[in-house]
Amino acid sequence: MPTWATRWRCHGRRTRPHVIIYSGAEDLQKVRAFVREQARSFGLGDEPVERLALAVSELVTNTLQHTTGGGEVRMWADGTTVCCDVVDSGPLRVWGHDMPAPDAERGRGLVIVERLCDEVTAFTESGRTVVRLRMAPASDSPSRKAPSASS
């Protein structure tokens, strides 16, 4: 069995991921287009596609603002779920925050990501941080599930 087959599982069937690498703000538009194209090819409808693209855009923007070296976005489907990893060299994210006060200048991004996706998990892999987003093709409205983190 190929190495990728043991790693790229979301909830079920194993598939090889599609990958895009980013290193600067000039790549953000390409990343958004990649996410939209892949999500549609995996069966997501228009609203979940846009929610996933926004969530990934937020995570990639955080990577570009708060880390060095850029990262990668990996997408695949397992038959019941569209899976998307945003991988970078930043620290493990802390989840489960409330939305900041209206006058706060920062701190909304990860809360928004949690609200846009059906499931969010974070873990480390080979010295890098992975934020895994999951969306069900039949997902019409964002879930309010609390994400989990493990290392």
pLDDT band at 35 (very low <50, low <70, confident <90, very high): very high
**Edge to edge, what strands does the sheet with 128-135 contain?**
18-22, 71-77, 82-88, 128-135, 119-125, 148-149
Query: CA-CA-CA-CA torsion for 70, 144, 49, 141, nearest 10 degrees?
Result: -170
Position with higher pLDDT, 106 vs 54: 54
Tell me the average pLDDT of the chain.
82
**Tens digits of per-residue pLDDT, 95-104?**
777 777 787 7
Model-level pTM greater than 0.75? yes
Position with higher pLDDT, 84 vs 108: 84
Average pLDDT over residues 46-56: 96
